[in-house]
Amino acid sequence: MAEKVQNQTLHIAKSSKKDEFYTQLIDIEIELEYYKEHFKGKTVFCNCDDPRVSNFFNYFFYNFEELGLKKLIASCYNNKEHNLFNNYSTVNGYYAEYSGNKDGNKINRPEEINIIAFKEDGDFRSVESINLLKQSDIVVTNPPFSLFREYVDQLIKYDKKFLIIGNINAITYKEIFKLIKDNRAWLGIHLGRGISGFIVPEHYELYGSEARIDDLGNRIVSPNNCLWLTNLDISKRHEDIVLTKTYFGNEIDYPKYDNYDAINVNKTQNIPKDYRGFMGVPITFLHKFNPDQFELVKFRKGNDDKDLSINGKCPYFRILIKNKRLQM
């Protein structure tokens, strides 16, 4: 199955004029493994996905029964420059729905599912796409990065559960950080190198030392700068970070900021177990964050609203946290 799907993806990617990153089936499989209990009886919507080629659509189609899904919907955006299929109009987007094999209805492969044309272009913000969103419980996809804030904002507005791929930098957007701070979104399991790479079209530069052409001829780039963002609970989120270091006796390793009463910690593993005050940690801390153990206090800025600094130098984006266990 994987071979066929990936070949199709390549074919479509080749015909695309736009820079596109297609998610590999393997990366979807290894992440979704951790969320299975959330899908029973649910409608899943992949709203930036061509149902004929998307590996998200393929994943949910082939795992429909195992997950106990109610319905699967995928919709595809189609703008004027981006026409994936010659037999479809250049302006209409389209979508497909699958409710499992029942009532004598036997569909063996995703390609056998009827494609339904939208009246508009299938933009995730269009009325037609939002109508599908309203019917859905969980949105799972890799959306366009340039529209990430707007994309997440819409999911929140319609109170949807989601599991989506974004760039690690998205954490630094104040809107996204606020969601994380308020415990309305968190990082999934895989991030950075944990997401193996994306299939890109032929005209796309194969950049980076890990760029490759796989056995199926797919052109893969591994930017190693992506993450999964979700509001589906995962057990990892409830595991404490094991703290082994101490602040007292090692104060020199934990300088205070010039513009906030907090100590700087360079690595998550170096968070001292005995410090009750505020601590500034790198954004990668969020990958290990357990909201029962730590509180997220503030992002990046000191009291003067400038970047946190130590003797005038600013370490890369810091998040201010506090150890909740020591407050009891």
154-213 residues near ligand SAM, rule: CB under 6 A = none
Which amino acid is residue 185, in one-letter code?
A
Give the other-Cβ count within 10 Å of 138's Cβ.
21
CB of 195 to ligand SAM, least distance (A): 11
Beta strand 43-46 with 71-76 is: parallel
Residue where the block lists tokens 């929140």: 156
Beta strand 198-199 with 22-23 is: antiparallel
Binder to ligand SAM among 25, 44, 110, 123 (CB under 6 A)?
Answer: 123
Instruction: Lay out the site mask for ligand SAM across 10-49 (x = CB under 6 A, - = otherwise).
Output: ----------xxxx------------------------xx
71-100 residues near ligand SAM, rule: CB under 6 A = 77, 82
Instruction: State the Cα–Cα distance between residues 58 and 9, nearest whole angstrom.
Output: 11
Q: Does 222 sit near ligand SAM (CB under 6 A)? A: no
Binder to ligand SAM among 7, 15, 26, 144 (CB under 6 A)?
Answer: 144
SS3 content of the chain, % helix, strand, coil (to 5): 30, 25, 50
252 Rama sector, left if φ>0, alpha if ψ -120 to 50, beta otherwise: alpha
CB of 128 to ligand SAM, least distance (A): 11
Binder to ligand SAM among 8, 43, 54, 231 (CB under 6 A)?
Answer: 54
Residue where the block lists tokens 């609203």: 305
Q: Does 8 sit near ligand SAM (CB under 6 A)? A: no
Residue where the block lists tokens 């649910």: 42
The DSSP line for 250-297 is: -GGGSPBPSSSSEEE-SSGGG-BTT--SEEEEEGGGGGT--TTTEEEE
Q: Which is nearer to ligand SAM, 20 or 128 (CB)?
A: 20
Binder to ligand SAM among 6, 58, 136, 142 (CB under 6 A)?
Answer: 142
CB of 90 to ligand SAM, least distance (A): 13
CB of 144 to ligand SAM, least distance (A): 4
CA 175-287-290 angle, 5° bins: 90
Task: Identify the helix (H) or strand (E) that includes residue 294.
Answer: strand 294-299
Q: Which is nearer to ligand SAM, 123 or 128 (CB)?
A: 123
CB of 284 to ligand SAM, least distance (A): 23
Which amino acid is residue 128, in one-letter code?
E
Residues that bind ligand SAM (CB under 6 A): 20-23, 48-49, 54-56, 77, 82, 123-124, 141-144, 147
